[in-house]
Amino acid sequence: MTFILAFDVSKGESYKVLYQDEYCLSEGKITHTQQEFHLLLEEIRSLPDTPEIVFEATRVYSRPLEKFCQDNHLFYSLLNPLEAKKQLEEGSLRSWKTDQADAHQLAQTHWKNQRPIKQLQQSHYLDLRDLSRFYQEIEEKIKRIRMDLHNALQLTFPEVEQFFSSRVTLYALSLIELFPHPAFVLSSSRTKIKNRLMKATRKKISENRAWQKADQLLAYASCAYPAVDSDSIQCQKVRYYAYLLQDLLEQKDQLAQQMIERAQPFEAFQLYQSIPGIGELTAVLLLGELGDIQRFSTSNKLNAFVGIDIRRFQSGKYVGKDHINKRGNPKARKILYFTIRNMIRQQRAAPNHLVDYYYNLKKQPAPKKEKVATVACINKLLKCMYSMVRNHTRYAYAYTASNDQ
């Protein structure tokens, strides 16, 4: 006698069906509230056997149901949306999609599909993942607002962008917030500009540096020809974006420090840093997105999680080009991609078998394209990291290079 409890999850509620063998015993909607979850738990405990629970991952909306299962020590199968779609459409020619129908189909197809139980990671890994993603969200916001600031500055005072030609700094943003238009500079004396800079910047600035910045500002303002007047709304926009960017940069630094402190107890965090080209921040971002990689039985499963496993298509005499699936974790792929690029940039710092492998791919009789070679290096990096964590060993060029032969 087998009981199946299937849910079709949506915002704030789920449609629940309870099956015994192939017969539906009950069904109905439940809201994601304390009272409704309490009633659900009573129903589960009233059954002769603990049911097999299955539902589809629906971003943040399925998290309350996951927490309910975890809090009450209930095992559950969490399906990838693409996996669920393929299983539900298998053998069906009708396009019939409702919350009720999906819940029934999840239960009815549970017997013929081997759905693994969700393997839970330690809460420390989950906290680190959330911190990592928050950090990446802040980075994306910084990029967008920096572009907004750039567009506004082109109308008010484009010359001041030279203060952060390489990267945005709090000094430059404080300066832009104070003087968004050359008229504000020209209406002040050199001494007043210096004093305002020393008082207004969020980080301490020396008097000599303040004099330097004041002279630069006066030089830029004297030759500037802005597209708008000093009372334009564009000046207000510049100040607004400069203020926002300062807050975001401070938040980004705090998050980076918080992540690094949280990652210190993890052995993998120390092992990743032994690989040339991976520093503290990259190591903690990799740890946050990949989690405990020992939960994967093989490195190929780790590749599939990231989404760099190969997709092949062949029909008759036609054989398509191999491509990566891109069905895994896009955030992890992005971090790994930039990790390899950073290794190539810093190749002179220390010997790295991944950099050597990259150049070997580029030197072949049929040289690989840059992205293809980089993805191949990601595959090799994941295997290296997987081996290091499983065997508790630090990076060694001689060992890894010999394994590449």
Between CA 372 and CA 361 the distance in angstroms is 9
SS3 content of the chain, % helix, strand, coil (to 5): 60, 10, 30
Between CA 2 and CA 5 the distance in angstroms is 10
Question: Could you tell me if 304 and 313 are in contact, meaning their C-beta atoms sit under 8 angstroms apart?
Answer: no
Question: Does residue 323 have a pLDDT over 70?
Answer: no
- Out of 15-29, 77-91, 213-227, 324-338, pick the least confident: 77-91
Question: Could you tell me if 2 and 21 are in contact, meaning their C-beta atoms sit under 8 angstroms apart?
Answer: yes
152's enclosing H/E stretch is: helix 123-156
**Reduced to 3 states, what is the DSSP secondary structure of residue 314?**
strand
Which CB contacts under 8 angstroms, 24+ apart, belong to 113-116?
A: 113/87, 115/54, 115/77, 115/79, 116/77
Q: CA distances (Å), 56 to each of 14, 107, 265, in order?
A: 11, 12, 33
- The pLDDT value recorded for residue 399 is 64
Q: What does the pLDDT average to over 29-46?
A: 95
Indicate the average pLDDT of the chain: 88
107's enclosing H/E stretch is: helix 99-108
Question: Does residue 275 have a pLDDT over 90?
Answer: yes
Between CA 303 and CA 6 the distance in angstroms is 29
Q: What does the pLDDT average to over 149-166?
A: 88
Q: What does the pLDDT average to over 126-145?
A: 94
Percentage with pLDDT > 90 across the chain: 60
Question: Does residue 364 have a pLDDT over 80?
Answer: no
Question: Could you tell me if 246 and 173 are in contact, meaning their C-beta atoms sit under 8 angstroms apart?
Answer: yes
Triad 348, 353, 399: Cα angle to 5°: 125
Q: Which is nearest to 385 in space by CA: 248, 262, 289?
A: 289
- The pLDDT value recorded for residue 93 is 42
User: What confidence tens digit (pLDDT) does each residue in 44-73 have?
Assistant: 999 999 999 999 988 889 999 999 999 999
Question: Does residue 238 have a pLDDT over 80?
Answer: yes
How many Cβ atoms from other residues are within 10 Å of residue 86's Cβ?
A: 12
pTM of the model: 0.83
- Out of 196-205, 217-226, 272-281, 367-376, pick the least confident: 196-205
Question: Does residue 314 have a pLDDT over 60?
Answer: no
Q: Which residues, at least 6 apart from 78, have a Cβ–Cβ distance to it below 8 Å? A: 55, 56, 57, 62, 66, 118
Q: What does the pLDDT average to over 138-167?
A: 90
Higher pLDDT, 394 or 309: 394
- The pLDDT value recorded for residue 405 is 45
Backbone angles phi, psi at 182, to 5 degrees: -60, -25
Burial category of 169 from C-beta neighbours within 10 Å (exposed 0-12, middle 13-18, buried 19 and up): middle
How many Cβ atoms from other residues are within 10 Å of residue 260's Cβ?
A: 15
The CA radius of gyration of the chain, in Å to the nearest whole number, is: 28
Between CA 277 and CA 283 the distance in angstroms is 10
All structural domains of the chain, each given as residue ranges with its CATH number in brackets, are 3-120 (3.30.420.10), 126-261 (1.10.287), 267-403 (no CATH)
Higher pLDDT, 380 or 162: 380
The DSSP bridge partners found for residue 77 are 54
- The pLDDT value recorded for residue 108 is 85
The DSSP bridge partners found for residue 3 are 20
Question: Could you tell me if 320 and 299 are in contact, meaning their C-beta atoms sit under 8 angstroms apart?
Answer: no
Question: Does residue 282 have a pLDDT over 70?
Answer: yes
